[in-house]
Structure 1
Amino acid sequence: MIKSKKAGDFPDFLIIGAQKCGTTSLYNYLIKHPEILEASRKEIHFFDNNYNKGIEWYKKQFPLETRRKQGYITGEATPKYIYDPNVPQRVYHYMPNVKLIVLLRNPVDRAYSNYHMDINKKLPELLRNESINDYISFEEALEVDIGQIYMKRGMYADQLERWLKFFPKSQMLILQSEQFFSNPLKTLKEVQRFLGVPYREIYDYKVYMKGDYKPINTNTRKKLLSFFKPYNDRLNQLLKVHFHWDE
């Protein structure tokens, strides 16, 4: 963890999303590389929540330039960046050459995981208030505002199109979460190559932020797969990649 309060430098890479797609695990694996220095924390939220703090505040979250002259690189991972429409232009203004990494997961699984993350955050309060029955089901959540956010976060093509207005595809590495989960070694090789650092083996593939909950209802899954199909088709066309989420 960086202790200095002196201004550092801009990051070399950003993991911009998406939420509940494996960004925490990927970032923690990357900072085990001897030439990748960690930021003050994984999610700095400068370009969305903390933009009013100014660019010098942001630069203080990264290692000093004198440490990075030896060939080190650094970066952060704020998964909300991909979703916030204000972020692409803000990033481009300060860091037009930054490398962008994106993890995309089946939007049905992403939404269900997002729901359980929110429930777990509220669990201590519910238990204190003896209101465990106040939980709403995933299906009920989809009918209210928070559920719409779960859905919109999985409409990846809309979000990536905003980024592609400012950054070329060659500056972005798009990864499929399912492949990362099943073969982290292969994904890390690809990421290290993209970042331009020498390959280093990572031996500890601890899973970070893994949810523990029962599978989604089969009928609900079918309905959501049908809902997301046109959005997934647009994503496949945009990236010229087939994610096989509808199969």
Structure 2
Amino acid sequence: MIRTVAGRVRRTLPPPARRAVRAALLGWGWVTADLRASPGLIVVGAQRAGTTTLFRLLSEHPGLIRPSVDKGTGYFDDGYRHGRRWYRAHFPLRRPGRWSRIAFECSGYYLFHPLAAQRIAAELPDCQVVVMVRDPVARAHSAHRHELARGFETLRFEEAVEREHERTAGLADWLVADPTGVSFAHRHHSYLARGEYAAQVDRFVTALGRERVHVVDADELFADPIGVYVDLQRQLGLEVHRPREVKRWNERPGEPLPDPLTARLRSHFDDHDTALGVLLGHPPSWRKEQG
């Protein structure tokens, strides 16, 4: 019922009213937190790499239960200071007939946040995670359009990537040093760093073990959605559920980048993509196309 109410709220109410209803739902969730599901699956990112599409697919799976209010909670990144009870408040009540279903969430900043992997490992020792990766040049450009649309960015894309180091230098170390810290620039202005996937995936593998980290190539998912999704379900130990259709959600089409800028960014990611290929056991799709 709460999930139905939350859906209606998102569709019909203005933002201030939505925030008030969301606060009320989480307040009730806090009171009943001990009776609520604890997630066994988390989609951790990357941002702008098809996570919304995968979330929609997983939400339709009869063996899974999505959060009651939002697709993600942000608990293991900026929300960690709120505590475990706050986290459980986001999930549905456990009811007869639902005990065998696995709760899940999708928070795209977890992959990039320097502490999220170890926090998940400590609090959810049996949880599996899914990492989605996408051509990092296309991802960076899409993320910039996303931040512009949200009012979190004012610079043109080329200037934003040129100034990224200046704007974000030292912030990851600061977040590690101050576990209660929150950094706007680290979250919203790290266009290139978020696409340096190998180090981020390795951080999760180190914290959780290779068998609990499942990497999905977004470009392969969009090229063969049913095949890739079925393969992921098997990796996760889920009964295979074939959706009737697969839509690409939350896409922000944009103008193509100039060739010289694309080449410069591609060069930036050369070593990172090679390292990702070593972790995967094969080159990522965007490097296969170039080779």
Q: TM-score, normalised by structure 2?
A: 0.76
User: Do 2:111 and 2:201's aligned partners in 1 also have CA atoms closer than 8 Å?
Assistant: yes
Give the SS at the match of 1:142.
helix
Cα 1:162–1:219 change in 2 (3 A) is same
Identical columns (%): 27
Rounded to whole Å, the distance in 2 between the matches of 1:241 and 1:15 is 22
Of 54, 57, 73, which residue of structure 2 is paired with 1:29? 57
Letter in 1 for 2:142: S
- 188-197 or 205-214: bigger deviation: 188-197
Residue 180 of structure 1 deviates from its aligned partner by: 0.8
Counterpart position of 1:18: 46
Residue 137 of structure 1 corresponds to: 156
1:72 maps to what in 2?
A: 101
Cα shift at 1:166: 1.4
Amino acid paired to 2:231: E
8 Å CA contact 2:204, 2:213 repeated in 1: no
Shift of 1:206: 2.2
What corresponds to 1:232 in structure 2? 273
Preserved contact between residue 205 and residue 213 of structure 2 (Cα < 8 Å): no
The AA in structure 2 aligned to 1:155 is E
- After superposition, the Cα gap between the structure-2 partners of 1:108 and 1:67, relative to the gap in structure 1 and judged at 3 Å, is farther
Structure 1 window deviating more from structure 2 (163-172 vs 44-53): it is 163-172
Q: Which has the higher helix share?
A: 2
Per-residue deviation, 1:239: 2.8
Letter in 1 for 2:196: M
Counterpart of 1:48, as a letter, is D
Q: Quote the residue 2:179 is aligned against.
A: none
Structure 1 runs of 4+ aligned residues shifted over 6 Å read none
Structure 2 residues not aligned, in runs of 5+? 5-24, 169-188
Tell whether the 8 Å contact from 2:220 to 2:285 is kept in structure 1 after alignment: no
Equivalent-residue separation in structure 2 for 1:68 and 1:58 (angstroms): 23
1:156 is aligned to 197
Aligned mate of 1:99, from 117, 128, 141: 128
Point out which structure has higher relative CO (alpha carbons under 8 A, 6+ apart). 1
The equivalent residue for 1:176 is 217
SS at match of 2:282: coil
Counterparts of 2:45 and 2:285, CA distance in 1: 20
Structure 2 counterpart SS, 1:223:
helix
Aligned equivalents of 2:96, 2:235: Cα separation in 1: 22
CA deviations 1:85-138 (Å, max 9, x no partner) are 111111111111101101101111110111111112229xxxxxxxxxx95321
Q: Which residue of 2 aligns with 1:127?
A: none
Report 1:44-123 matches (<5 A): 44-67=73-96, 69-122=98-151
| TM-aligned CA deviation for residue 171 of structure 1 | 0.9
Quickly say closer, same or farther: Cα 1:67–1:216, change in 2 above 3 A: farther
CA RMSD of aligned residues (A): 2.1
Work out the CA distance in 2 between the residues paired with 1:201 and 1:239: 25
Report the Cα offset of residue 69 of structure 1: 4.9
CA, structure 1 residues 219+60, in 2 after alignment: closer, same or farther (shift >3 Å)?
same
Q: 1:214 aligns with which of 255, 278, 291?
A: 255
TM-score (normalised: structure 1):
0.89
Change (3 A) 1:79 1:67: farther
For structure 1, which runs of at least 5 residues remain unmatched after alignment? 124-133
State how far apart, in whole Å, the 1-side matches of 2:286 and 2:103 are.
32
